Amino acid sequence: MTEKQNKRHMYRRLIALVVLVLFIVGGTWALSILREEAQEEPGNVRNTDFNGNVIRLELRKSMGQLQWAEPEELGPSRNVSRNRKEQDPARILLLAERDMENGDFAAAEDRLRTALVFHGKNVKMYALLGKALYLQEKYKAAESVFRQQVYLAPEDSVSMNNLSAALAKQKRYHEAIGTLHQLLKNDPSSASAVLNLAGMYAVSGDKKNAIAYFRKAYELLGHRILFLAQDRNFVSIQQEPEFIRIVREAKNDFLKNRREDASDRKKAGKKETK
């Protein structure tokens, strides 16, 4: 081996030795930093990636975190879900009715729509939601809700009446009348359905049927029809002779009942004096 080759071999070994030393020194330095950081308080640990950028850690809320213990009076052993309590049907209906009484129909609507996600078969919630929508003049939306109510409780005459009212408000009288006739098949003695039919026939221009069903309503309701005869739905037939005749009969009925009541009270008074 020549002297030149010996020098090259020596340089290679020297470079390898230098690299090894640098690797050991660098590793020792890195380990010392890691130990120092591990001994720091958790709040002071630097959350960085390999490029030195800060890492932001966020905890996602789980369904389990929505459950919490009720106030201290329930005791440590009783864990109740607030979410479950807020979804109690009776409580929701009570709060929604309170919203309605205060005239806040939008709040009642929002509350009931949320609750129905969890109580999709609660007929009372659908009935109240439909009413809230109807009073906001959202008749199409009210119709959809009442249809769901009818689907869940097909024998419920109130839901059918409500559906017919929502349809009538959209001037879909033919559908409204058909709904009421369907109701009468299930409940022929429904005075409200008969009265509503009279009103819808009157509004749609069918005076003959309007008066016929007004007569039937009188037969079911008696003199109470007097107070309903002034409804604006009957404007188109209020001057018709038959309508006037029915109202007169109802008035005579009312006066007769009042006289009989007065006579009964008088007789009762005489018995007490004896």
- pLDDT band (50, 70, 90) for residue 17: low
Residue 120 per-residue DSSP state: T
SS3 138: coil
Using the predicted structure, report yes or no on whether residue 46 has a pLDDT greater than 50: no
Q: Give this prediction's pTM.
A: 0.61
Nearest-angstrom CA–CA distance, 72 and 238: 66
Neighbouring C-beta atoms of residue 209, cutoff 10 Å: 15
Residues constituting the chain = 274
- pLDDT band (50, 70, 90) for residue 2: low
pLDDT confidence of residue 57:
33
pLDDT confidence of residue 88:
87
Which residues does 124 contact at the CB level (< 8 Å), separation at least 6?
89, 93
Its CATH class, for the domain covering 81-170, is mainly alpha
Q: Which residue's structure tokens are 């709904």? A: 179
SS3 199: helix
CA dihedral over 21, 22, 25, 27, signed as positive or negative: negative
Mean pLDDT of all residues in 192-197: 92
Nearest C-alpha neighbor of 186 from the set 158, 146, 218: 158
- pLDDT band (50, 70, 90) for residue 78: very low
Nearest-angstrom CA–CA distance, 153 and 189: 18
Domain locations in the chain as residue ranges: 81-170, 189-261
Nearest C-alpha neighbor of 114 from the set 147, 148, 86, 79: 86
